[in-house]
Amino acid sequence: QHPDRKNIYYVNQLETKGIIIDRSSLSKIFSKWNIFTYKSKFISNLKRLDKETEFSEKHQVDLKKKVNTHYRYVDANFVLLLEGIKKNGLYVDAPGLFIIWHYLEELGIFSILSEMGLTYSENGKGYNWFDHFLLNIARIFYGISSYSRACSQEEPSLSLFSHLVSLPCNDSFLNGLGSISEEQVFKLQQWLIQRCKELKIIEGKRIAFDFKHIDLKVDMGELRGFGKGPSPKKKICCHSFRPHIVWDLDTGNIIALEFRKGSARGTTTVKRFTKDFILKQFKGIFREVYIDSEYTGKDVWNFILDSKEGMGADITACLKQNTFVRKERDQFLFKHNNKKGFWVYYDDKHVYSRKTFLLTWKYPQKGKEKNKEEKELQLKCVVKKNIKNGSLRCFASSKKKLSSKEILEDYSNRWAIEIGIKDLNQNYYLTNCPGKNPHHVNVHFFIVSICRHLYRMIQRDLGDLIKRKDGSIKTLQTMREILFRQGSAKLNIKDDTFEVNFLNSWATDTRRDI
């Protein structure tokens, strides 16, 4: 159960039970039984993440390649359903769902799915992956939080949107979504980022990294191997999923989202995550990166600041007060703490230091000769103090011209990712994971990110109609009744056109304008 434990751990455990044994004998027993070859049968991570492989350009999807026209194959009974709609029409309560077809067409995802063989069944029978994909998108925009509840929906909007006559059962739905391979999901994630960049719904100039902690209730936690992460709700470390997220602060949109198990940490995640998804697409575009205290580490700072091997961007961060940070902080406070006017009012609970101090370290650049000087990197830091309990926090920026207050104000831009993650959870059901299989959960995260991009495209077209008086954007939950679930309507098909006849006579001005 604990292959990472040293032999002395087991010697001590046996000693508590009255069994005295030396380490050499224990080592022989382990060797004879091949103990260290034992592995848990539980799957705790994506296979790709368990491999220590470096990023390579061959994994990137080339969008410039011309794609032949692809056709959508549907069940013959669905064609009969369309013929019936032409004659008699069909009553639905979510006619606005079908406008999402237009945005999926603009996104252009069908072509790449068709190339992967995900838009049709091999034997022409049963559901294909694209059916489940459409159903999941309809589920989220309709406002159904659970996969099982979506399958029991009798109203025909979801099935018609998914090009189906009837919805699959719960097991068929979940297993169908999981039938896509990990490699295909990885390529689709890369493709989606490139495509959204082309559509200009993400920019990549100012970005922020963060995790979303999702608590898990698991038996045999050590054998399951998910690892533990800090839970904001429980205030302790517990078994969890921790999807890693990068957010575009300028467009207010998600850039990438991928599964990570609970033991993942910022310092060991950010480099590979960046190389896998955003480094090549936004190299030379990055300007600022916002990170919280979990990413405190010279390796992370080096990677973000290095313009040659890394991102080449400025950092604005909250710092974990490790030995390196604490040493410089204490020297700074010892020198200035008793000076008049050193602490400045920030709000009713906090004050901050008027002056700043520098964190300086050497960065050995690749390709340099040993006798050449290493590059010196610096972060400009400010101390923030809680008046009531005296606790200290450090904030830093690589932008040397900022004052102490400007560093704190600049860091407040990072809160956009916190608001965005809350939006993903409340409106797109991010934390409603389908089971505990990492691959199935990662597919769920991928479809959530697609839905967020689709809503961003809708927001682009509606402009001021989707904004509040203060300029903020109305969430999907707020607009769901206006955009997608307008109430009873009758669908008709004339030639190649869907006609919607709204049967609800009452409508707000906003609804009429939209």
Percent above pLDDT 90 for the chain: 70
Q: Which residues have C-beta within 8 Å of that of residue 191, sequence separation ≥ 6?
A: 61, 63, 112
Q: How far apart are CA 351 and CA 336, in angstroms?
A: 14
Name the residue with tokens 């939950």.
477
Q: How far apart are CA 102 and CA 263, in angstroms?
A: 40
Please indicate, yes or no, whether residues 456 and 417 belong to a single structural domain of this protein.
no
Specify the pLDDT at position 319: 96
Q: Are 381 and 400 in contact (CB under 8 A)?
A: no
Please indicate, yes or no, whether residues 426 and 437 belong to a single structural domain of this protein.
no
Q: Tokens representing 348?
A: 């009713």
- pLDDT tens for 199-226 read 999 999 999 999 999 999 887 777 778 8
| 199 lies in some domain | no
**Band of pLDDT at residue 477, cut at 50, 70 and 90:** very high
Specify the pLDDT at position 367: 60
Percent above pLDDT 70 for the chain: 92
Specify the pLDDT at position 342: 95
**Band of pLDDT at residue 7, cut at 50, 70 and 90:** confident
Per the prediction, the chain carries an average pLDDT of 90
Q: Are 481 and 142 in contact (CB under 8 A)?
A: no
Please indicate, yes or no, whether residues 462 and 359 belong to a single structural domain of this protein.
no
| Residues of the domain holding 319 | 287-432
| 69 lies in some domain | no
- pLDDT tens for 234-291 read 888 999 999 999 999 999 999 999 999 999 999 999 999 999 999 999 999 999 999 9
More confident residue, 123 or 92: 92
| 145 lies in some domain | yes
Lowest mean pLDDT among 50-64, 108-122, 300-314: 50-64
Please indicate, yes or no, whether residues 99 and 46 belong to a single structural domain of this protein.
no
CA 294 to each of CA 5, 105, 213, 316: distance values in angstroms, whole numbers, following the listed order: 26, 39, 13, 13
Q: Tokens representing 223?
A: 């054998």
- Given 432, 455, 485, the domain boundary residue is 432
Q: How far apart are CA 508 and CA 124, in angstroms?
A: 45
Please indicate, yes or no, whether residues 295 and 410 belong to a single structural domain of this protein.
yes
Over 70: is that where the pLDDT of 373 sits? no
Specify the pLDDT at position 65: 46
- pLDDT tens for 334-366 read 999 889 999 999 999 999 999 999 999 998 876
187 CA to centre of own chain? 16
Please indicate, yes or no, whether residues 370 and 453 belong to a single structural domain of this protein.
no
| 194 lies in some domain | no
Please indicate, yes or no, whether residues 108 and 16 belong to a single structural domain of this protein.
no
Return the SS3 of 426: helix
Using the Cα atoms of residue 283, residue 288, residue 290 and residue 293 in order, give the sign of their dihedral: positive
The average pLDDT across 109-121 equals: 91
Please indicate, yes or no, whether residues 438 and 426 belong to a single structural domain of this protein.
no
**Band of pLDDT at residue 2, cut at 50, 70 and 90:** low
Strand positions, DSSP E, 369-488: 375-386, 392-397
pTM: 0.89
- pLDDT tens for 123-179 read 667 899 999 999 999 999 999 999 999 999 989 999 999 999 999 999 999 999 999
The average pLDDT across 100-121 equals: 93
Lowest mean pLDDT among 118-127, 230-239, 435-444: 118-127
Q: Are 365 and 377 in contact (CB under 8 A)?
A: no
Q: Are 261 and 226 in contact (CB under 8 A)?
A: yes
| 214 lies in some domain | no
Give me the number of domains the chain comprises. Answer: 3
| 335 lies in some domain | yes
Specify the pLDDT at position 35: 77
Q: Can you name the residues that pair with 19 across neighbouring β-strands? A: none
Over 60: is that where the pLDDT of 82 sits? yes
Return the SS3 of 229: strand
| 229 lies in some domain | no
Q: Tokens representing 66?
A: 């011309």
Angle between the 438-462 and 129-142 helix axes, to the nearest 10 degrees? Answer: 60
- How many residues are recorded in the chain? 514
More confident residue, 5 or 278: 278
Specify the pLDDT at position 66: 43
| 317 lies in some domain | yes
Specify the pLDDT at position 204: 96
Specify the pLDDT at position 251: 95
Q: Tokens representing 39?
A: 């592995």
Specify the pLDDT at position 63: 45
- pLDDT tens for 49-67 read 887 654 444 445 554 444 4
What one-letter code names the amino acid at 494? K
Please indicate, yes or no, whether residues 368 and 302 belong to a single structural domain of this protein.
yes
Half-sphere exposure of 317 (CA within 13 A, CB side): 28
Please indicate, yes or no, whether residues 291 and 419 belong to a single structural domain of this protein.
yes
Please indicate, yes or no, whether residues 409 and 297 belong to a single structural domain of this protein.
yes
The average pLDDT across 444-465 equals: 96
Q: Are 59 and 451 in contact (CB under 8 A)?
A: no
**Band of pLDDT at residue 495, cut at 50, 70 and 90:** confident
Please indicate, yes or no, whether residues 301 and 330 belong to a single structural domain of this protein.
yes
